[in-house]
Amino acid sequence: MSLVFVASYLIPLLGLIILKKIRFIKNFQTESIKERKLPIALMTIVFYFLGNSLITIPNLRDLGFLFYTTSLGLFIIYILYNFKIKASVHLLSFGICIGFFMVLSRYYAQSFTITIIVTILLSGLLASARLNLKKHTTREIYIGFFIGVFSSFSLNYFL
């Protein structure tokens, strides 16, 4: 679990601090697409390698799948940046979470309905907050959310 903490929290935090120090980003909000590209690319790579590390451990295979899914979602968002389309990374993560539990529910023939419902409610609250703060448009929120769900289902289909 320390590997997950370092790769998913400390590396991104240190990366943003370095990018701010060299003035690649103005602040930690990374509001423009130009400022978001490099951090998203770095996280895509970090999560891909983290997925590679975890997928080989039998008890952590599902967690490896989750990081592969996150890497795929971030990669799709990075591609959209090249078309000047911004998407909510916050809602991407909630979409991935919902899709992940739907896939697990099917794979293990076990119900995660309560978890999925609570996550949907929390994603609605987060979407409302992002809209209220004027950080995203409705379109950007939907794009991020549905890329997350799509990533989970598509990766499940191919893996």
List pLDDT tens digits, range 53-78: 999 999 999 999 999 999 999 999 99
How far is CA 129 from its chain centroid? 18
Model pLDDT, residue 23: 79
What whole-number distance in Å separates Cα of residue 97 and Cα of residue 73? 12
Tell me: pLDDT of 5 over 80: yes
What whole-number distance in Å separates Cα of residue 64 and Cα of residue 133? 33
What whole-number distance in Å separates Cα of residue 138 and Cα of residue 76? 18
Reported as type and span, the H/E element at residue 45 is: helix 33-55
- The structural domains of the chain, with segments of one domain joined by +, span 2-158
**3-class SS of residue 87:** coil
List pLDDT tens digits, range 83-141: 999 999 999 999 999 999 999 999 999 999 999 999 999 999 999 999 999 999 999 99
Name the pTM for this structure: 0.90
Q: Using DSSP, how many helices (H) and how many strands (E) does the chain show?
A: 7, 0
What whole-number distance in Å separates Cα of residue 38 and Cα of residue 22? 13
For residues 88-118, one letter each, b for 16 or more C-beta atoms within 10 angstroms of the residue's C-beta and e for the rest, the string is bbbbbbbbbbbbbbbbbeeeeeeebeebbee
